[in-house]
A and B are shown apart, each in its own frame.
Chain A
Amino acid sequence: MAGILSIMFMRSYFSLPTLSLRFIPVWQRNFLVWRKLAIPSILGNLADPAFYMLGLGYGLGGLLPEVGGVPYLTFLAAGTVCYSTMNSATFEVLYSGFSRMHVQKTWEAILNAPLTLDDVLLAELLWATSKSLLSGLAILAIIWALGLAGFAQTLWLIPLIILIGFCFAGMGLVMNALSPNYDFFMYYFTLVITPMVLLCGVFYPVDQLPTWLQAISAWLPLTHAIALARPLVQGGEPQQVLAHALALLAYGGVGFYIALVLTRRRLLK
């Protein structure tokens, strides 16, 4: 009997997410805390990528002929939108999410109320997506302000930013579920995020890389994000939109599901 029950519960670790609007008060809690700390948070999230883009774009760009058919700053702008969004979502679910789960035990308090872990994790996913939307929009605002791209053509970047945030929030939650402490996240940054920044075409076109690195790049989600973003910024029409969008959705969705299973195993044991 005990065996059967524990097998049933093992299965319930693996059950599909129950999506419910109950996530809203948890999302709201994160939003209200963010609002209190908004100024340093905005500076950290926005100023950093903006300085990279402007510094490298003008500084390095001045030495370069056109890259990918456009001035280097314009080339860099599309990559910066994507990686800034990625960083913002990743930091939120890793460091802030881990604080709420493990250090402050905020999740534990919430789970004593009539909410479930599925509600909490959905709230974290959507909150990180929302927060990273701000980071992406800020870079987009700079693009508009500098006249690097037209307003109408770049509006499609907004749903793309949401998709990128979703993708990296879902992936990051897996790390959160596995992490014993903050130091653990360094593996993820060193082995996943940094290679992505350097291999996915943020700073230079992927076709500059040797073929074997290009092959790796093709599997990385940031490559798919940039494949959509760059034509949008440069006034072209993205190719294979559905395939790229599905890749981002799959990384985020599968990540979220794995994270949910692992977090159930961690907290509901």
Chain B
Amino acid sequence: MPLLNIQNLRKSYGPLEVVAGIDLAVKKGECFGLLGPNGAGKTTTLRLALGLTAPDGGTISMLGLPVPDRAREARMRVGVVPQMDNLDPDFTVRENLLAYGRYFGLKDAETALRIPALLEFAGLEHRADARIDALSGGMKRRLTLARALVNDPDLIFLDEPTTGLDPQARHMMWQGLRRLLNQGKTILLTTHFMEEAERLCDRIAIMDHGKIIATGSPHELIGSHIEPQVVEVYGEGVADWMAAHSGTYCERTEKVGETVFCYTRNSEALVQQLCGRTDVRYLNRPASLEDVFLKLTGRDLRD
């Protein structure tokens, strides 16, 4: 049975249907990624799943309990890393963990026993008595993750866990999440970093305008939605080149600004043709989840 099971979920704000009938099942032990541009409905879906707002339609069951009716009980076994850190700035690192443990009914002595492992997990062993404003952005993020683990949850929600982090901090966060998956935890995360989704997630749902428009493993999505090779062509001569050749050598092209994206099953002929030219440059690479994402959700800005 899935740990989180969502069926035909709907939620509107005024005339805007933010979640427009989605189905979603997160299985035990998997990392499930919810991808989508800003405003796609990802955060609203998480809030609905946690029972923090009531749906207009559909059913949700989390850890076998109906949501929102018994959401409070279900949250006993859930950890949440919100989009914005909301650590207690007046408390130290240790006090933040103690206070959060109390919200789960944990006695200070119980939480205190868990704190060394949580600090080790977050790489904050020597910062137990540090004030929150003395921590870097990455440390705060890791402490927020450690705080979400204080109740030893089965299911962990992460809303854009690495937004705003530098590459080092992001990789450290990914390591932490992999450790949790190895321990058998189940993760539901939202992100708009394709690389993050590709590295961590067993399965992905791409969401746009409140609907899920594709689901599958990263490989499946790439395999079924897009040609395997991409050649990006750019430079002064790109317009001439496109007019003359692009259709000949690849299945599909897309012009974005000054760059032409050529999608193809076999890029050899195209690359050979491009090799000799001096007026254009090119980059040949395997198709990625980002290509799928842009194909499905379009290239328009979402503000």
Partner of B90, one of A26, A33, A111: A33
* Stretch of B76-84, B168-176, B246-254, B289-297 with 4 or more beta carbons under 8 angstroms from chain A: B76-84
Q: Is residue B12 within 8 Å, beta carbon to beta carbon, of the partner chain?
A: yes
How does the 8 Å CB contact mask read for B47-58 relative to A, with 1 for contact and 0 for none? Answer: 000101111110
Task: Please report the C-alpha to C-alpha distance between residue A1 and residue B82 in the assembled complex, in whole angstroms.
Answer: 31
Asked if B104 lies at the interface with its beta carbon under 8 angstroms from chain A, I say yes
**B103 and A2 within 8 A (CB):** no
Chain B proximity of A36: nearest CB distance (Å): 6
A183 to chain B, nearest CB (A): 22
> CB of B89 within 8 A of chain A?
yes
Q: Are B103 and A26 in contact (CB under 8 A)?
A: yes
A110 contacts across to B, CB distance below 8 A: 103
**A179 CB-CB contact with B under 8 Å:** no
Given contacts A2-B10, A5-B56, A269-B13, contact A33 B88 (CB under 8 A): yes
> Is the Cβ of B76 less than 8 Å from the Cβ of A29?
no
Interface string of A17-53 (1 = CB under 8 A from B): 0000000011011001100110000000000000000
Please pick, from A12, A29, A37, A116, the residue contacting B88 in the complex, using a CB distance under 8 A: A29
A6, A29, A268: which has the most chain B beta carbons within 10 Å?
Answer: A29
Q: How many A-B residue pairs have CB under 8 A?
A: 75
Q: A29-B99, A105-B86, A114-B104 are in contact. Are A5 and B52 (CB under 8 A)?
A: no
CA distance A95 to B95 in the complex (A): 23
Q: How far is the CA of A65 from the CA of B4 in the complex (A)?
A: 75
- Count, chain B residues at interface, CB 8 A: 32
Q: Are B88 and A106 in contact (CB under 8 A)?
A: yes
Chain B residues near A113 (CB, 8 Å)?
75, 100, 103-104, 151
**What residue in chain B is nearest A34 (Cβ atoms)?**
B90
Do residues B86 and A109 form an inter-chain contact, with CB atoms below 8 A?
Answer: yes
Quote the shortest CB–CB distance from A265 to chain B (angstroms): 11
Q: Are B90 and A36 in contact (CB under 8 A)?
A: yes
Known: A2-B10, A113-B100. A12 touches B72 (CB 8 A): no
User: B22 to chain A: closest CB distance in Å?
Assistant: 14
Is A219 an interface residue when CB atoms closer than 8 A count as contact?
no
Q: Which residue of A lies closest to B157 (CB)?
A: A112
- Whole-angstrom CA separation of A268 from B47 in the bound complex: 9
Q: Is the CB of B91 within 8 A of A2?
A: no
B102 at the interface (CB under 8 A from A): yes
Interface: A9 (CB within 8 A): yes
A29 touches B56 (CB 8 A): no
27 intermolecular pairs with C-beta atoms under 8 Å apart: A2-B10, A2-B57, A5-B54, A6-B54, A9-B54, A12-B54, A25-B99, A25-B102, A28-B102, A29-B102, A32-B95, A32-B99, A33-B88, A104-B89, A109-B82, A109-B86, A109-B100, A111-B52, A112-B50, A112-B52, A113-B100, A113-B103, A114-B72, A115-B72, A268-B52, A268-B54, A269-B13
Task: Sort A-B residue pairs by CB-CB distance and give the 4 closest, nearest first.
Answer: A25-B102, A113-B103, A105-B86, A112-B80
Q: A residues bordering B, Cβ < 8 Å?
A: 1-2, 5-6, 8-9, 12, 25-26, 28-29, 32-33, 36-37, 104-106, 108-116, 268-269
